[in-house]
Amino acid sequence: MQPAATALKTTDAEVRQFPIPANVHAETVVSVKHYTDRLFSFRITRPQSFRFRSGEFVMIGLPNAEKPVFRAYSIASPAWDDEIEFFSIKVPDGPLTSELQKIQPGDTVLMRQKATGTLVVDALTPGKRLFMISTGTGIAPFASLVRDPDTYEKFEEVILTHTCRDHAELRYGEELFDQAANDPLIGEVAAGRLTHYCTTTREISPRMGRITRLIENGKLYADLGIPPLDPATDRVMICGSMSMLKDVKELVESLGFTEGSLNHPAEFVVERAFVG
Ligand code: A2P
């Protein structure tokens, strides 16, 4: 009698290989950059057929189990990019990130076929200024949007705020901003229209404090020399931890902003920064 076929193959070298699940792209890691012991970014190849809107997220996983663990990750690269970029936290005992943080160029990352999400410009009604409020890895969808010329077609000014515990955690955003400024396509369209405002909460820096406090006490506006948030002219996108989302949402609602979605575009949209 033939032995039953098993999903698990054992190669000559005793390397266990699991089959790639159906409806999943298996992509190759192109580069990895570690920023701190909590944060890293990586880029993978992009399947030709994969389409997404800047600001959306997709489920990713690793081919290290028969039933891989998938987690939602905001795509940090813009829709026109040939590669897909992600910015991730490292959770020591996280079901995915404990392994994901070990990836090297040439390794395989699995990606589901459909991207989705609410941090897209079409979920907002037209406005003049677009505020992107982020903490930690919540900057990822905005890294996509600030590098997309479409964003500047819809808004005259883009103000990206990023708050982290310390300066080392702000580095990804600083590099993003420098890269965008020097990019032949984005540098020109964003010139004089993209502002990057970063603050720290646990390390002394020129700008300190949670963004909620800096909006409430007017320091954000004073530092940038701009008029306060106004639902008549401004739109807001928010991405960060659950408690940050709750507080910033309450804050903008108290200023008269209403929450939108793709089906009902309005004045602000919210997405949780994903961990796992
Ligand atoms: P804090 O240091 O005061 O907690 P984390 O790395 O824990 O996700 O936090 C990222 C940044 O978000 C930190 O600077 C943190 O400030 C800030 N933060 C956390 N909770 C809130 C909140 N409810 N509102 C505004 N900022 C917050």
* Closest residue to atom 16 of ligand 1, CA basis: 201
**Which of 97, 207, 210 best tests ligand 1's pocket when mutated (most atoms within 8 Å of CB)?**
210
pLDDT in tens, 90-140: 998 999 999 999 999 999 999 999 999 999 999 999 999 999 999 999 999
Task: Tell me if 247 CB under 6 Å of ligand 1.
Answer: yes
Q: Cα separation of 170 and 160, whole Å? A: 12
Start-end of CATH 2.40.30.10 domains in the chain: 12-112
pLDDT > 90? residue 15? no
pLDDT > 60? residue 276? no
What pLDDT was estimated at residue 21? 78
pLDDT in tens, 33-70: 999 999 999 999 999 999 999 999 999 999 987 788 99
Return the sign of the alpha-carbon dihedral for residues 36, 75, 147, 272.
negative
The model's pTM: 0.93
Ligand 1 centre to CA of 101 (Å) is: 22
- Indicate which atom in ligand 1 lies nearest the CA of residue 246: 23
> Across-strand partners of 26?
110
Task: Tell me if 210 CB under 6 Å of ligand 1.
Answer: yes
Tokens of 264: 């009902």
pLDDT in tens, 153-203: 999 999 999 999 999 999 999 999 999 999 998 999 999 999 999 999 999
For 260, other C-beta atoms within 10 Å of its C-beta total 21
What pLDDT was estimated at residue 257? 98
Task: Tell me if 272 CB under 6 Å of ligand 1.
Answer: no
In Å, what is the CA distance from 200 to each residue of 75, 173, 189, 204? 24, 13, 29, 7
What average pLDDT does the structure give for the chain? 93
Task: Tell me if 263 CB under 6 Å of ligand 1.
Answer: no
CATH no., domain 121-270: 3.40.50.80
Q: Averaged over 22-43, what is the pLDDT?
A: 96
Q: Cα separation of 190 and 240, whole Å? A: 24
Q: Cα separation of 51 and 109, whole Å? A: 17
pLDDT > 70? residue 85? yes
pLDDT in tens, 230-273: 999 999 999 999 999 999 999 999 999 999 999 999 999 999 88
Start-end of CATH 3.40.50.80 domains in the chain: 121-270
| Res. 8 pLDDT band, cuts 50 70 90 | very low
**Which of 163, 169, 249 best tests ligand 1's pocket when mutated (most atoms within 8 Å of CB)?**
163
CATH topology for the 12-112 domain: Elongation Factor Tu (Ef-tu); domain 3 (2.40.30)
What pLDDT was estimated at residue 3? 43
Name the more confident of 275 and 210.
Answer: 210
